[in-house]
Amino acid sequence: MTTLELHGVHKSYGAVAALKGIQLSVPRGSRTAIVGPSGSGKTSLLRIIAGFEAPDAGRVVLQGEVLADGSAIVPAHRRGIGYVPQDGALFPHLSVADNVGFGLDKSAPDRQARIDELMDMVSLDRAMLQRRPHELSGGQQQRVALARALAQRPKLMLLDEPFSALDTGLRASTRKAVAQLLQAAGITTILVTHDQAEALSFADQVAVMRAGQLAQVGAPLEVYLRPKDPVTASFLGEAVVLNARLSQGWAECALGRLPTGDTLRHGQGQILLRPEQLNVTPLISTPPSAGSGAVCAGTVVESDFCGAVCELSVQLDEDAGGTLVHVHSAGLDAPLVGARVAVSARGTAHVFPAS
């Protein structure tokens, strides 16, 4: 069942068309990530869903209730939508307890019990209730902001880059914890982020935005492994895009012959491999023999050591087309720049739809 539906949402700021006919369904209880580069329209869309702005045209429907139909809108405070901004926007002069309980009835007999329950939900120690926001870590502040938004028992939760101010480790653990608690509470959530790894890890539906339009919407694995075009592929992670001759479910490309699983396409096309599908091994003397499958020889021209992983650029030999491919190798025993290597591919190549 769908919680939120967007139909043909348009928004312009003067001459800038920020949103151009957005169409999106967000299933009840799901987590959707809207991901896209800076300026692609993510925040504009979130603000229209929240009710902070009206669309120029299009409809926003939440659980069957029309919240916006062009410029006729239900005000933000009557939408039943929770909103957690980038910086948490806690009230600095209020205690954690008063921040969490901000929207709760001050005279309600169960107010304290509800605040305690919300603290438990976001895994914050109740001993923190009398602290001020500046006495908390960034991750703890974001949890308080989430608890404050949860206090309203929202039909929909909007998260606007809520983890971006946190450092890498805290960011990953906070993201995981927030995803788990929202899932456990069954709260439909939309996360806006420009971080593709965050979108893929957090969501069960990823909507890729580009220049005011949704380029692709699908499950994380679907958009990552089967993107609609090379631009979307590159936005979601490193992409190895190769020209190929397609025939009967196979692709002949610079790396050799690879299965595609697409028996319908024939002739020239473009295929996608992710760097983790490629493997490099030292090439001691003889080049890989013909008939050894998707293997060919090349030279490492660039090496970027990132710890566990080493990102290599390998120039394939001229007889393999001279293409430059990116490969992820284990950081421990990665070949050095100048090393001769055999590059092999595993798994299925994705064939981009003909444009």
Residues forming the site for ligand ATP (CB under 6 A) = 13, 16, 18, 36, 38-44, 194
Q: Which is nearer to ligand ATP, 43 or 323 (CB)?
A: 43
> Minimal distance in Å, beta carbon 93 to ligand ATP?
28
> Minimal distance in Å, beta carbon 38 to ligand ATP?
3
First to last CA, the chain: 33
Q: Which is nearer to ligand ATP, 194 or 350 (CB)?
A: 194
CA dist 330 and 243 (Å) reads: 27
> Minimal distance in Å, beta carbon 14 to ligand ATP?
6
For 230, phi then psi, to 5°, come to -60, -30
> Minimal distance in Å, beta carbon 56 to ligand ATP?
12
Query: Residue 144 in 3-state DSSP?
Result: helix
Nearest-5° angle of CA 287, CA 340, CA 292? 30
Contact (CB, 8 A) for 311 and 215: no
> Minimal distance in Å, beta carbon 295 to ligand ATP?
41
Q: Which is nearer to ligand ATP, 43 or 205 (CB)?
A: 43
Q: Which is nearer to ligand ATP, 42 or 79 (CB)?
A: 42
DSSP type of residue 198: H
- Closest alpha carbon to 277 in 350, 351, 345, 349: 345
Query: With b meaning 16 or more CB within 10 Å and e meaning fewer, what string describes 47-69?
Result: bbbbbebbbbbbbbbbeeeebbb
CA atoms within 13 A on the CB side of 298: 29
Burial of 328 (0-12, 13-18, 19+ CB in 10 A): buried
Query: Residue 117 in 3-state DSSP?
Result: helix
Tokens of 285: 């003397």
> Minimal distance in Å, beta carbon 155 to ligand ATP?
23
> Minimal distance in Å, beta carbon 243 to ligand ATP?
32
Contact (CB, 8 A) for 298 and 343: yes
Q: Which is nearer to ligand ATP, 212 or 288 (CB)?
A: 212
> Minimal distance in Å, beta carbon 192 to ligand ATP?
7
CA dist 355 and 353 (Å) reads: 6
Q: Which is nearer to ligand ATP, 3 or 43 (CB)?
A: 43
* Strand 72-73 versus strand 65-69 pairing type: antiparallel
Q: Which is nearer to ligand ATP, 19 or 100 (CB)?
A: 19
Q: Which is nearer to ligand ATP, 96 or 158 (CB)?
A: 158
